Structure 1
């Protein structure tokens, strides 16, 4: 349930701030960002994905908020049949080009995903692996979006969530882009009801992990939230 502040001025300010955060997730915002550069990201797969998926038996995979496709292409190269979804049509065009260049286009399909319009990234389809890396959404939208993403995990399949940890803002490694956008493993577990009597989820990994990241001012230690769950069934 969303909290409504009945004090007029504060509530108005809160609503404006929330709308600003949501606008940052829009197709318009991301199309503009991806149009401004040949490559926004490195093209390399995320370190946490490689660590967590390298020993899994390939099957079907869904890469949520895929960006320019670094993770999706890596998965396809490992033998996965991949569906890559993102809110940005510009990003998806780049995914298609990069997949062709990498020789994996036959094993990778793309699709639009607007988390705020419909939190389910692939309708009622399910996958052996659903991975979502660094999708930071406003607190009032978090549970709906991550539950929608989790619905795409097939029985016996896995959900992998990687995120920036709030510690990075406290340490000065990152600027805050909005209150509560960065999150700990516990927020994912609570959103999905992990640990409750009727939960279908088994925790395989739920921890914070440090790594070194190249920054404009030089290498800096950052902290990631890493959650890997298996759906029983």
Structure 2
């Protein structure tokens, strides 16, 4: 998703968004409200870090976590990837499906929270989470779901806005302590993983859309050896 953060018994896979949401209804309602408030929430362009980091990869199966209105999913599909896109907001998924149809590409849509989506372990050659809003839990369910979804030989790409994890809680209810940040995922990487990138860098930001004011990214890219 992106900057304001969003995030998942098995979810439905479909070429168009399914009605059967799997996850906390309050989370879905919050994000449906965010999307309903604006005709288009994000820029409509793929995220710069995704484009840069995927450039050298051989297309395969990819999971787009928090796909929002579908810009990354459509870009990946256009570049030969077999795309599964997961999102909590049904409003966003319907927009994403229209975007994909207009582009003439096929995407599998999953209406679910990541940790509850019922994805088969090791299913994806690339798991991409661009500015996701993954809620933290004591058992690190979301972090482990990201790692578990990556196939042996595959890549995890997690990108977030630098500095958000150290912000103070907002009056609107946003508290960084409630969410998963790249450092938390990096801490779970064991000898089965090779960290290829773990850095802060200037953000290549699409013009327009919420979150455009952020200037730096945290980029974690890790290769699963086995």
TM range (shorter): 0.7 to 0.9
Partner of 1:109: 108
| Alignment gaps of 5+ in structure 2 | 1-22
How many residues matched? 197
Q: State the distance in 2 between where 1:222 and 1:183 align.
A: 20
In 2, are the aligned partners of 1:133 and 1:162 still within 8 Å (CA)? yes
Answer whether contact 2:136 2:142 (CA < 8 A) is retained.
no
RMSD value, Cα: 2.9
Matched, 1:161 2:158: yes
Q: Could you tell me how far 1:150 is from its partner in structure 2?
A: 1.4
Query: Offset at 1:87?
Result: 0.7
| Residues 162-181 of structure 1 aligned to structure 2 (within 5 Å) | 162-166=159-163, 177-180=174-177
Higher RCO, 1 or 2 (CA under 8 Å, sep at least 6)? Answer: 2
Contact 1:132 1:160 (8 Å CA) reproduced: yes
Q: Determine which structure has the larger helix proportion and give its number.
A: 1
Gaps of 5+ in 1: 1-21
How far off its partner does 1:66 sit?
A: 0.4
1:153 and 1:40 map into 2 onto residues whose CA distance is: 29
Partner of 1:19: none
1:95 aligns with 2:96: yes
Q: 2:26, 2:199 → 1: CA distance?
A: 26
Please give the TM-score of this superposition, normalised by the length of structure 1: 0.73
Tell me if the contact between 1:63 and 1:84 (Cα under 8 Å) persists in the aligned partners.
yes
Q: CA deviation at 1:187?
A: 2.2
Q: Find out whether 1:230 has 2:215 as its counterpart.
A: no
* Alpha-carbon separation, structure 1, partners of 2:215 and 2:180: 13
Query: Is 1:121–1:149's contact at 8 Å kept on the other side of the alignment?
Result: no
- 1:31 is displaced (CA, Å) by 1.2
Higher Rg: 1
Mapped to 2, the partners of 1:152 and 1:47 lie a distance apart of 23
2:193 and 2:84 map into 1 onto residues whose CA distance is: 23
TM-superposed CA distance for 1:38, in Å, is 2.2
Task: Provide the C-alpha distance between the structure 2 equivalents of 1:109 and 1:101, rounded to a whole number of angstroms.
Answer: 15
- Give TM-score, length-normalised by structure 2: 0.75
Q: Distance in 2 between matches of 1:43 and 1:148?
A: 27
